[in-house]
Amino acid sequence: MKIGDLAAKTGVAPRLLRYYEEVGILHPYRSGNGYRAYGEPAVERVLQIRELLESGFTTDMIREILPCLDDPRPAECVVKVDLDALRRQLGNVERRIDVLQRNRDAIKTYLQIWEETSGVTSDS
């Protein structure tokens, strides 16, 4: 699959797919002509990357979070996984979940109060 196809399937601009490769979180093959060649799992992976970026993670953190989950990386990479970094990121993720849950509850409460006093139901 060429970069344009992957862009179409994921909704992520080719420019960004090249960027993700540059920062080391996407690892396409190359076909003879020099074109990047992506496997089917790249679709899932790109979506994963987008989710994490939109959740405020940097590409550096993502590089630690997506260690051996590389599409075409077989067992060799297993050696290079930084377990401590991964544990750190796990802590990060958990802290963020706490923050978001607190804020979710706060917003919900706030909305409920408002919807009661103004007599507006939540379905628009």
Residue from 9, 47, 59, 85 binding DNA (CB under 7 A):
59
DSSP-assigned states of every residue in 59-112: HHHHHHHSSTT-TT--GGGGGG--HHHHHHHHHHHHHHHHHHHHHHHHHHHHHH
Residue from 37, 67, 70, 71 binding a second copy (CB under 8 A):
67
CA pseudo-torsion sign 62, 65, 70, 73: positive
Contact between 119 and a second copy by CB under 8 A: the answer reads no
Binding mask 1-40 for DNA (x = CB under 7 A): -xxxx-x-----xxxx-xx---x--------xxxxx----
Residues that bind DNA (CB under 7 A): 2-5, 7, 13-16, 18-19, 23, 32-36, 53, 58-60
